Structure 1
Amino acid sequence: MNIYIVDAFSNEPFRGNPAAVCLLEEEKSEQWMQQVACEMNLSETAFVLRRTEGDGFKLRWFTPVAEVELCGHATLASAHVLWEQLALDEQRLSFHTKSGMLHATRQGDWIQLNFPLEQEEECVPPPQLIVGLGERFHYIGRNRMDYLIEVEDEGVLRALKPNFQEWSTVKARGIIVTCRAKRPDVDFVSRCFYPVIGVNEDPVTGSAHCCLAPYWQKRLDKNSFTAVQLSKREGLLMLRIENDRILMSGQAITTLAGKLLNMPS
């Protein structure tokens, strides 16, 4: 089986968020996919299988320790691999996932993902969330997957050093921390942490922006955004809200192509 590593939300190698993409020829067990994801040891490994009935592809995502319900950068990477390696003619790809039907549209050097919004609501945070943050905050909310925290400014966000021992006990997929951007050409910035599923800090998290975009829509009174995730690798996302969906655009570049060998199913 062919497997690739793609740097998503970047047009430069060793930037953005690396995802492994495995092109399946047949169904594989959940245990097998989890073992491959552990072997790849990236924040996500995507498994793509063309459907035998109907159109599109089946798509699942695994961290080194768990399956996740929604992942942006590995979906972007999967679409990139299908177009680049298989030379598909379709300008729009459909993915059947645990979060419903997702779409990717080719737009020159960019790929636009069509994802559901994951809006948060203000909540009373658990004590370990605040202790693990170790900084003052303006707001804390929660959606079905993650907590969202707004901090004072970009300096606080960049310097943030969470206590992952505390955060690993928070009952959520992850913790998104955000603030207004310093740069005039960027609307907001963020960092994203997922210690519960084995990823202390994710370089660029597409699914987090399903929550970030509607949050900043309310505060900035606009529907289109330029966003940057401030990890060491950094990534750029172009976002637009349309009704209950978010159109999320990014670029991608393949850095590795190989084959899985000696892989019992």
Structure 2
Amino acid sequence: MQAVAAEFNISETCYLTRITNSTSPNTRFRHRWFTPVAGVNLCGHATLASAHTLFTTGLVNSNIIEFDTLSGILTAKKVPDVCPTNVSEVQNGGVSDHFLIELNFPTVPVTDFNSAEASLISKALNDAPLIDVKRTTTADDIFVVLQSGKSVIEMEPRFDDILKCPGRGLIVSGAAPPDSEFDFISRFFCPKYGINEASPRGGIVKIHLDEQNHRVLLRGKAVMVMEGSVLV
């Protein structure tokens, strides 16, 4: 699986295997993710793409899919889109079915970051002023807050310096402009795993935090751009 992911050389390659036994529903799948250089425990992009493929190709006859993963059981639910894709987007290969996919993921706790290493982070982000820095406890990513979403968009990272930073990768976020329709803007850099940036094309995610159950619900869309066969 890792060799195939290396051949694809994209941010994440995922694999699905349907679980079929007397105790599992027909909509449960084993799910694994790989970057070009290593396996990872969780990936939202590839999970969204997997659910989209299963829903739109008729491989499941249900509005809910369960994924058995290294991060536990994750669910994907098909929900109505109150603001469907416009006609021109559909005609140009956009999402033709008016639905969103809601992913149910675990929240990731954060801890304080060693301030002595903050200069490494600032240098890696091209000397951007840092408002706050935390460290995630599971994936060991560094979560950085900049002064604005505009700063996040315009920031030009130094990937050689990111390689010298502690942790796996850098999550960079900042508040969106007050007159925009968004709350914040984020980017993710992970050159140690062969992914300079996991989100260069951009996308919109609707988020609901379930603090009581320590879960986060992510709603978004995917578009199928290619299909084919792999010879192994």
Q: Name the TM-score, length of structure 2 as normaliser.
A: 0.83
Matched, 1:110 2:100: yes
Structure 1 residue runs of 5 or longer lacking an equivalent are 1-32, 204-230
| Consecutive unaligned residues in structure 2, runs of 5 or more | 81-98
Q: Report the counterpart of residue 194 of structure 1 in structure 2.
A: 190
Match of residue 22 from structure 1: none
Matched-pair contact (CA < 8 Å) for 2:149–2:184? no
In 2, the alpha carbon distance for the partners of 1:111 and 1:190 equals 20
Q: Residue 254 in 1 paired to residue 224 in 2? A: yes
Tell me which residue corresponds to 1:160: 155
Q: Report which of the two has the higher share of strand.
A: 1
Aligned partners of 2:9, 2:108: CA distance in 1, in Å? 27
Native 8 Å contact 1:45 1:74 kept in 2 = yes
User: What is the rounded CA distance, in whole Å, between the counterparts of 2:112 and 2:216 in structure 1?
Assistant: 21
Measure the CA separation in 1 of the matches of 2:12 and 2:124.
24
**Do 1:169 and 1:196's aligned partners in 2 also have CA atoms closer than 8 Å?**
no
SS of 2:225's partner is strand
Q: Secondary structure at the match of 1:252?
A: coil
1:141 aligns with 2:131: no
Would you say 1:128 and 2:116 are equivalent positions? no
Which runs of at least 4 in structure 1 moved beyond 6 Å after TM superposition? none
Aligned equivalent of 2:19, options 32, 35, 51:
51
SS at match of 2:61: coil
Aligned residue number for residue 34 of structure 1: 2
Computed over aligned residues only, the root mean square deviation of the Cα atoms, in angstroms, reads: 1.4
The size of the alignment, in residue pairs, is 202
* Per-residue Cα deviation, 1:162-209 (whole angstroms, up to 9, x for no partner): 221121122322101111101431111111101110101111xxxxxx
Give, as a single letter, the amino acid of the residue that structure 2 aligns with 1:46: C
Shift of 1:129: 2.3
Larger Rg: 2
Pick 1 or 2: higher relative contact order, CA cutoff 8 A, min separation 6.
1
User: In the alignment, which of 168, 175, 186 is matched to residue 170 of structure 2?
Assistant: 175
Deviation at 1:120, TM superposition (A): 1.6
Once the two structures are TM-superposed, the CA of residue 155 in structure 1 deviates from its matched residue by 2.9
Q: Percent sequence identity over matched residues?
A: 35
Q: What SS does structure 2 have at the residue aligned with 1:81?
A: helix
Match for residue 214 of structure 1?
Answer: none
